[in-house]
């Protein structure tokens, strides 16, 4: 059965109204595709970085970032050694001389053994004694150390190896005795000394704290020691017949003017370049023989 034309048109419009919305909905539900990025031509020597690299960099951990920063820091050269090779010092020393003897004021002893004996003259001044004391009665010095002379010393020490240094001391001595008539030159106020030292430990020229050492030394110096003795005058004729039967004499023992010795000490560095020093030196004096202990305290600084 055929439909009239107008009904056929209405039926077609109805069918079309249902068909086109369905196609539109299906098209909206279909996922859209993003156009691929245009190809980039790679240049020689140039690295192509993908677009997603920014995301990867943002997602990198803090540890990776610090590692990359540390890697980029330029290397720094190690600082040079702070060891001071040359050290100057100033100190004051006292001389403790060992003195002992018998018949020290006899003429032979004053001439050959380094003793000078003085009596008090009628004028009140000291003059050398030339009497004739009784042998082995009085006129003796009990053994012991006596302090009389001292000295101010300026020194320099230079490190020649990790544990060795060479040095010198020069200074002025004071407190010597008077010149006797049998003295060729009198008291020598000059002190000159050369030494070599061994330092214990490591890096002692570049650190603070204690720096112990031992040393050997030799040079020019004179040490005088002062004491008193009682003499009993003999009845034999003498060059000084006016001497009383008994009197007290001032005796000087003169030692030197050369010496050799060994010693030890310690420097306490307040900083890497300065410190306080203390040492003791045992000296054997010649040609006028004697033994002397010489402690020294002072201050030292290096450069």
Domain assignment of residue 216, yes or no: yes
| 81 in any annotated domain | no
Helix, strand, coil shares, percent, the chain, to 5: 15, 50, 35
Residue 70 lies in a domain: no
Per-residue pLDDT of the chain (303 residues; tens, 9 = 90+): 455 666 555 556 555 555 555 444 444 445 455 555 555 555 554 554 445 444 444 444 444 444 444 444 444 444 445 678 899 999 999 999 999 999 999 988 888 888 999 998 877 788 899 889 999 888 899 989 999 899 999 999 999 988 899 999 999 999 998 887 766 568 899 999 999 999 998 766 666 788 899 999 999 999 999 999 999 998 887 788 888 999 999 999 999 899 999 999 999 988 888 899 999 999 999 998 999 999 999 999 988
Which tokens hold the place of 223? Answer: 């040490």
SS3 category, 156: strand
Asked if residue 234 lies in contact with residue 247, where contact means CB atoms within 8 angstroms, the answer is no
Does the global pTM surpass 0.75?
no
Query: Under the phi-then-psi rule, with left for phi > 0, alpha for psi from -120 to 50, and beta for the rest, what region is 82?
Result: alpha
With respect to residue 58, please indicate whether it lies within any of the assigned structural domains: no
Instruction: Tell me if 1 is assigned to some domain.
Output: no
Whether 57 maps to a domain, the answer reads no
Q: What is the b/e burial string over 8-40, where b = at least 16 CB atoms within 10 angstroms of the residue's CB? A: eeeeeeeeeeeeeeeeeeeeeeeeeeeeeeeee
Helix (H, G, I), strand (E, B) or coil at 231: strand
pLDDT at site 202: 77
Confidence (pLDDT) at 11: 58
Does 145 fall in a domain? yes
Does residue 102 belong to any structural domain of this protein? Answer: yes
- Which H or E element spans position 99? strand 86-102
As for how many domains the chain has, the answer is 1
- For residue 253, the enclosing domain spans 86-302
User: What's the pLDDT at 194?
Assistant: 98
CA distances from 136 to 87, 116, 118, 224 (A): 52, 18, 19, 24
Query: Looking at residue 217, what is its pLDDT?
Result: 97
| Residue spans of beta strands (DSSP E) within 181-289 | 190-199, 209-233, 246-271, 274-288
User: How far from the centroid of its chain's Cα atoms is residue 154's Cα?
Assistant: 16
DSSP state of 165: E
CATH number of the domain within which 112 lies? 2.40.160.20
């Amino acid at each position: 059965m055929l439909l009239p034309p107008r009904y056929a048109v209405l039926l077609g419009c109805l069918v079309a109204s249902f068909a086109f919305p369905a196609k539109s909905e299906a098209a909206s539900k279909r996922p859209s595709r993003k156009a691929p990025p245009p190809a980039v031509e790679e240049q020689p020597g140039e690295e192509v970085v993908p677009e997603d690299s920014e995301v990867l960099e943002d997602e990198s951990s803090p540890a990776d970032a610090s590692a990359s920063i540390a890697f980029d820091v330029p290397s720094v050269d190690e600082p040079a050694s702070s060891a001071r090779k040359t050290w100057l010092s100033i100190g004051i020393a006292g001389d403790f001389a060992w003195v002992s003897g018998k018949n020290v004021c006899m003429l032979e002893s004053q001439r050959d053994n380094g003793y000078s004996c003085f009596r008090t003259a009628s004028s009140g001044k000291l003059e050398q004694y030339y009497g004739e004391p009784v042998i082995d009665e009085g006129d003796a010095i009990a053994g012991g150390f006596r302090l009389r002379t001292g000295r101010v010393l300026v020194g320099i020490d230079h490190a020649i190896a990790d544990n060795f240094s060479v040095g010198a001391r020069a200074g002025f001595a004071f407190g010597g005795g008077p010149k006797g008539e049998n003295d060729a030159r009198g008291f020598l106020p000059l002190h000159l000394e050369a030494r070599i030292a061994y330092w214990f430990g490591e890096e002692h020229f570049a650190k603070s704290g204690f720096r112990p050492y031992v040393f050997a030394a030799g040079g020019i110096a004179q040490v005088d020691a002062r004491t008193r003795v009682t003499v009993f005058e003999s009845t034999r004729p003498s060059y000084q017949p006016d001497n009383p039967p008994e009197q007290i004499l001032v005796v000087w023992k003169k030692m030197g003017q050369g010496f050799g010795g060994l010693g030890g000490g310690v420097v306490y560095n307040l900083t890497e370049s300065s410190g306080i020093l203390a040492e003791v030196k045992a000296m054997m004096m010649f040609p006028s023989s004697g033994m002397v202990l010489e402690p020294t305290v002072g201050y030292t600084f290096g450069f």
